[in-house]
Chains A and B, each alone.
Chain A
């Protein structure tokens, strides 16, 4: 290992910051919300009650992925015979139709090179948030509600 590599390896990991980005009832099932966190545009999708977040900008031409249709995975091994799975777990870019996996941010057609960052989102009760190390510039936390917390 060269010293330069050792240096890179030793670089301390940036401390994760956690951001309250939405109230859960703001994103209906199958819909999305665009949020801005530390200057990053992030699209959060409600997939059957599960919240998945990816960088909003399509790496192809820059379209807003939050405006894309939420779609199933379409596959086939035999011409004319198709099967659908993973309903609502992919978003199709509104401009050119490229599909991205909401769980990983990887594009379906070129997963290793064409991908967007994906982020962890957790649902937290307001009561838990009031005391925690959360950044909540936008939200007035109410102890009774549930909030989406995005880790950056």
Chain B
């Protein structure tokens, strides 16, 4: 018996296994079939999150050669009685250097998502993969799939080649905003840059921590460069980011803005207000105080009950059984984050 009633909830972060070459071949043209074969492009997992690393995965959710969709239905969608779930493929497509290969892999992955997942379970929605390495191709991909409302956002990483606010990416945001797609930022690095501001770490735990700075850097960049000024309908959804790093970012950036705003006068409101309007965070994993009684205090600092979006992060091992949310979240907050906040954040879920 689950501790929380998730009936009708919308899960904002569910991972199908990353497609391998054999999965993508039917969706690649002859040239790219030749290239991925000759160049041995097969396992498209991220170095920053190798999904075959066992400790990340719930042992009782292992697919073992069966149909991963059936496993997802049995382990997640059915028992939690979810209304909808958003699939996020965090794959090597985000990290490939070849701008044309990355476009081909993104396209094939999106078509594979449609064919093998979205078309087989009406509860599924997905993030669209677009090649940030090739802005023109990213815009083309958005336009190609814009009519398929099951894609609710485009997906990128918390540590990228350039800060996400840079003008070079604006055509992607323009196309996304035009079609009501949001910007999903998932924990992960394509290692174009060292994962910390002081270079490379020695240990995994450091790498996990560095994503907090990665997310903060991306949010600060989107605000400072004026992306939310230019594209006011756009929201950034921080996925697998944790939550409690957000209030200190709000406090610090709002304070610094008072003295430094003349350089970025298009940042017209306190960054904390902009963050409350434009940034959302998924709920799993959740970095909260050990004592559930302290949880409401930690969340109060957001000064908003609209920012949290329910997620399970399936099939990663963040919780046991069906205890998909941590204890201590106030009922009123819970009532909003399971569904209402998500419908408000993603316009394409409503239509």
- A residues touching B (Cβ–Cβ < 8 Å)? 71, 74-82, 93, 96-99, 107-110
Closest CB-CB distance, B272 to chain A, in whole Å?
11
How far does the alpha carbon of A38 sit from the alpha carbon of B265 in the complex, in Å? 39
Q: B270: which A residues are within 8 A, CB to CB? A: 109-110
For the complex with contacts A71-B262, A76-B268, 14 further pairs of A-B residues with Cβ separation under 8 Å are A77-B266, A77-B268, A78-B230, A79-B225, A79-B226, A79-B229, A79-B230, A80-B226, A81-B266, A96-B258, A97-B259, A97-B262, A98-B258, A98-B259
Residues of B114-164 at the interface with A, using a CB-CB cut-off of 8 Å, are: none
Closest CB-CB distance, A87 to chain B, in whole Å?
14
Contact of B33 with A by CB under 8 A: no
Interchain CB contact (< 8 A) of A76 among B225, B259, B266: B266
Q: B225: which A residues are within 8 A, CB to CB? A: 79
24 CB contacts below 8 A, A to B, read A74-B262, A77-B266, A78-B226, A78-B229, A78-B230, A78-B266, A79-B167, A79-B225, A79-B229, A79-B230, A79-B266, A80-B266, A93-B259, A96-B258, A97-B258, A97-B260, A97-B262, A98-B258, A99-B258, A109-B257, A109-B258, A109-B261, A109-B270, A110-B270
B265 x A75 contact (CB < 8 A): yes
Q: B268: which A residues are within 8 A, CB to CB? A: 75-77
Q: A74: which B residues are within 8 A, CB to CB? A: 262, 265
Q: B230: which A residues are within 8 A, CB to CB? A: 78-79
Q: B262: which A residues are within 8 A, CB to CB? A: 71, 74, 97, 99
B258 x A107 contact (CB < 8 A): yes
Q: How many B residues, CB 8 Å from partner?
A: 15
How far does the alpha carbon of A93 sit from the alpha carbon of B230 in the complex, in Å? 30
A76 x B258 contact (CB < 8 A): no
How far does the alpha carbon of A49 sit from the alpha carbon of B257 in the complex, in Å? 31
How far does the alpha carbon of A82 sit from the alpha carbon of B263 in the complex, in Å? 10
How far does the alpha carbon of A98 sit from the alpha carbon of B256 in the complex, in Å? 9
Q: B226: which A residues are within 8 A, CB to CB? A: 78-80
Residues of B71-86 at the interface with A, using a CB-CB cut-off of 8 Å, are: none
Interchain CB contact (< 8 A) of A96 among B167, B259, B265: B259
Binary contact track B223-234/A, C-beta < 8 Å → 1, others 0: 001100110000
How far does the alpha carbon of A42 sit from the alpha carbon of B260 in the complex, in Å? 26
How far does the alpha carbon of A78 sit from the alpha carbon of B231 in the complex, in Å? 10
Q: Nearest CB to that of B263 among chain A residues?
A: A74
How far does the alpha carbon of A110 sit from the alpha carbon of B230 in the complex, in Å? 23
Binary contact track B206-228/A, C-beta < 8 Å → 1, others 0: 00000000000000000001100
Q: B265: which A residues are within 8 A, CB to CB? A: 74-76, 82
Q: B259: which A residues are within 8 A, CB to CB? A: 93, 96-98
Q: A78: which B residues are within 8 A, CB to CB? A: 226, 229-230, 266
How far does the alpha carbon of A99 sit from the alpha carbon of B260 in the complex, in Å? 10
How far does the alpha carbon of A76 sit from the alpha carbon of B262 in the complex, in Å? 10
Q: B266: which A residues are within 8 A, CB to CB? A: 76-81
Q: Nearest CB to that of A82 among chain B residues?
A: B265
Q: B167: which A residues are within 8 A, CB to CB? A: 79
User: Which of the listed residues A78, A79, A99 has the most CB atoms from chain B within 10 Å of its own CB?
Assistant: A79
Q: Nearest CB to that of B260 among chain A residues?
A: A97
Interchain CB contact (< 8 A) of A77 among B229, B257, B260, B261: B229
How far does the alpha carbon of A82 sit from the alpha carbon of B229 in the complex, in Å? 13
How far does the alpha carbon of A97 sit from the alpha carbon of B261 in the complex, in Å? 9
Closest CB-CB distance, A70 to chain B, in whole Å?
14
